[in-house]
Amino acid sequence: MLIRSLRLRAKSLLLHPLRSLLTILGIFIGVASVIWLLAISEGISRAAQKQIEDLGVTNIILRSVLPANDDLEDTTFYIPYGITRQDYATLVGTIPTVSYALRIREAYREAHYRDKTLQVRLVGCTPEYARVMHLSPSRGHFLSTIDVENDDNVCVLGAGTARIFFPLENPVGKTIRIRDIPYHVIGVMRARLPMAGIGGSLAAQDFSQDLYIPVTTFWRRIGDRTLTISAGQRNGQEIQLSQITFQVASVKDVLPTAKAIESTMKRLHDVPDYAVVTPLELLEQSRTTRLMFMIFMGLIALISLLVGGIGIMNIMLATVTERTREIGVRRALGATRSDITRHFLIEVTLLTSVGGAFGVLGGIGCPFLIVELRELLVEGFPQLAQGLPEVIQTATPIVLPWSIALAFGVSVVIGVVFGLYPAMRAAALDPIEALRHD
């Protein structure tokens, strides 16, 4: 009887194919939008969390930050601020939970090779930098402890720097000049995605045009002073360390160590010319934001399902009006009210099931379509694409399995709920009045 009922209900729906198709389309849009919005939000959230995880959940980042003008002492052309080498020694010597501390000094300089000149991000660091920043060599090797201890004039090139200076040559063994000082190339790093900035305390990092030298060589050859010329103005700054990345043994030590670092820096500095960034806290905030974002996107998508449900109710009410005489005949032949209700609910279930099934198929294709649309945007409107946030440019939608079951289940439930009233109204018709209906 169930198979026969399904066949009869399907034939009834096919009597009005356009009406049924529009109803199915409404459910399709609702189900697909639920899957799409949740997939997009999950993809963006995963990309943002990956960037934070790349910083290391057991790391604590101490950055030099230029303080406000009111806090600066205008006593010299070169304004001293930020983390000092003495700060490093004090922090490492007084905080026992610190496993190691990575010293980093950054500056932008012009690098030269033969007739080629390139503005590079010159990074003075130690061998641990490659591990912390997830960099791996494609040629040669990264800096060694001996290079740092001996203040050697050696350098490692980022992937973009090597590609521009040496498009057809092996860079290892060649010599790069910065301020007429030769640096022997000992390695080239593999390409990696840029790291987005987080807040105002951690700047974005693009590793492609980097040039790495030992931090001790940076201090000896480059020094602490930096001169910046922009819009006809000359600004001098004096920084000893751009950043210190601390690592602790376990996650439970992160927050206490961060508080100890912050309290020590407050004692050593009268001016807030530093910032403490804790990736663990950022990761927890990101996960909370992800949950809220997904709930918000899910609610928006559910609205479209509700609109589809209202469309189902509207169509079923019209169907009941059109088939009043048919209902009267069925009742006269012995059909009960429950039979009439069941028949109309089967029709609603068929509509929502078919629409939900196609919606699931459309939702699963979300990642492929989004990637294709993004590539078309990059090709057709490159400036607009470059203006998008880094996370949106690189994130790929991730379809969540539970979102498929949720969207399909909710669509069927909404269809049944919104179809129940028309079905009950049809069942409540008086058989005699229904037979008289023209």
pLDDT-based confidence at 255, cuts 50/70/90? Answer: confident
Nearest-angstrom CA–CA distance, 244 and 194 = 20
Q: Let me know whether 114 and 43 are in one domain.
A: no
186-204: average pLDDT = 68
Residue 90 lies in a domain: yes
Residue 201 has pLDDT above 50, yes or no: no
Q: Let me know whether 117 and 243 are in one domain.
A: yes
| Cα distances (angstroms) measured from residue 54 to each of 133, 279, 394 | 7, 9, 15
Query: Token pair of 241, please?
Result: 């360390």
Q: Let me know whether 361 and 408 are in one domain.
A: yes
Please give the full DSSP string across 195-250, using - where no structure is assigned. Answer: B--BTTTB--B--TTEEEEEHHHIIIII-SEEEEEETTEEEEEE-SBSEEEEEESS
Q: Let me know whether 100 and 12 are in one domain.
A: no
Nearest-angstrom CA–CA distance, 317 and 289 = 42
Nearest-angstrom CA–CA distance, 31 and 277 = 40
Residue that terminates a domain, selected from 244, 272, 300: 272
Q: Let me know whether 205 and 79 are in one domain.
A: yes
In this predicted model, which residue has the larger pLDDT, 104 or 77? 104
Q: Let me know whether 267 and 288 are in one domain.
A: no
200-225: average pLDDT = 81
Q: Let me know whether 318 and 232 are in one domain.
A: no
Count how many domains the chain has.
2
Q: What pLDDT does residue 382 have?
A: 74
Nearest-angstrom CA–CA distance, 97 and 253 = 7
CB atoms within 10 A of CB 298: 18
Q: Let me know whether 215 and 334 are in one domain.
A: no
Q: What pLDDT does residue 390 have?
A: 62
Nearest to 61 by CA among 132, 121, 131: 132
Q: Let me know whether 202 and 314 are in one domain.
A: no
The residue segments making up the domain with residue 244 are: 66-272
